[in-house]
Amino acid sequence: DGGITQSPKYLFRKEGQNVTLSCEQNLNHDAMYWYRQDPGQGLRLIYYSQIVNDFQKGDIAEGYSVSREKKESFPLTVTSAQKNPTAFYLCASGRTGAHEQYFGPGTRLTVT
Amino acid sequence: AQSVTQPDIHITVSEGASLELRCNYSYGATPYLFWYVQSPGQGLQLLLKYFSGDTLVQGIKGFEAEFKRSQSSFNLRKPSVHWSDAAEYFCAVNRDDKIIFGKGTRLHILP
């Protein structure tokens, strides 16, 4: 089955630690996206990539980093510089030139 | 700046009743518009999309939406809701391959 996978579903970390969230897609989509979701806030764009080895900052990139070494994979690292990392993180992908995006199941990160 | 407004944070309807969720956008040109649905703790699923043409679009799960340029609206409708429709619904607009989401409307269903 084609789709987007995110792992793990739940992630717990201590404050001050970096953590990497996984996102893999087998839809052959060129573009991939990371969003953060907080209650009542909708979705906010963290980073996006439209081609391998290239990515751009979204609206709330501070404290996050990404890489895009393979078309299928777009991992997100939440660094210790992110002041409020506890949130639900969603990965999405889409075809270049198409306008809709398709979402993975999300990872809930809790930092204490 | 373009934005998407969903004026209702929560809506409660009885099972079997009709539903309309409101969405307004601010954008100069004809936008690409979407409705997504999210069940608790899950990702978002695309319900329907509007790019051009017929202003009434049909989606999955019996939903439809109507684009009204004069009102800058893209309201989501369903003639008869089911308990399984309880979820959060997001209206969104795409520009330059980036999607801007409204803050969502949570739908509650009364038995």
Contact A40 B51 (CB under 8 A): no
Residue A40 distance to chain B (closest CA, Å): 6
Which of A75-79, A82-86, B94-98 comes out lowest in average pLDDT?
B94-98
Which pLDDT score is estimated for B1? 63
Contact A94 B98 (CB under 8 A): no
Contact B49 A42 (CB under 8 A): no
pLDDT in tens, A4-23: 999 999 999 999 999 999 99
Contact B43 A90 (CB under 8 A): yes
3-state helix, strand, coil in chain B (%, to 5): 10, 55, 35
Cβ-nearest to B49 among A4, A6, A100:
A100
Cβ-nearest to B97 among A41, A50, A108:
A50
Q: How confident is the model at residue A1 (pLDDT cuts 50, 70, 90)?
A: low
Which pLDDT score is estimated for B2? 63
Numbered residues of chain B with Cβ closer than 8 Å to any chain A Cβ: 9, 32, 34, 36, 41-46, 49, 51, 90, 94, 97-99, 101-104
Mean pLDDT for the stretch of residues B7-22 = 97
Mean pLDDT for the stretch of residues B89-110 = 91
- Closest to B43 (Cα-Cα) out of A73, A59, A37: A37
Concatenated DSSP letters of B43-102: -EEEEEEE-SS-SEEE-GGG-EEEEEGGGTEEEEEESS--GGG-EEEEEEEEETTEEEE-
- Closest to A25 (Cα-Cα) out of A7, A43, A9: A7
Mean pLDDT for the stretch of residues A99-109 = 94
For the CA atoms of A66, A69, A71, A74, what is the dihedral angle to 10 degrees?
A: -20
Concatenated DSSP letters of A84-107: ---EEEEEEEE-TT----EE---E
| Peptide bond preceding A39 in cis form (omega within 30 of 0) | no
What are the phi and psi torsion angles at A10 (to 5°)? -125, 140
Residue B81 has pLDDT above 70, yes or no: yes
Q: Hey, how many other C-beta atoms are within 10 angstroms of the C-beta on A40? A: 9
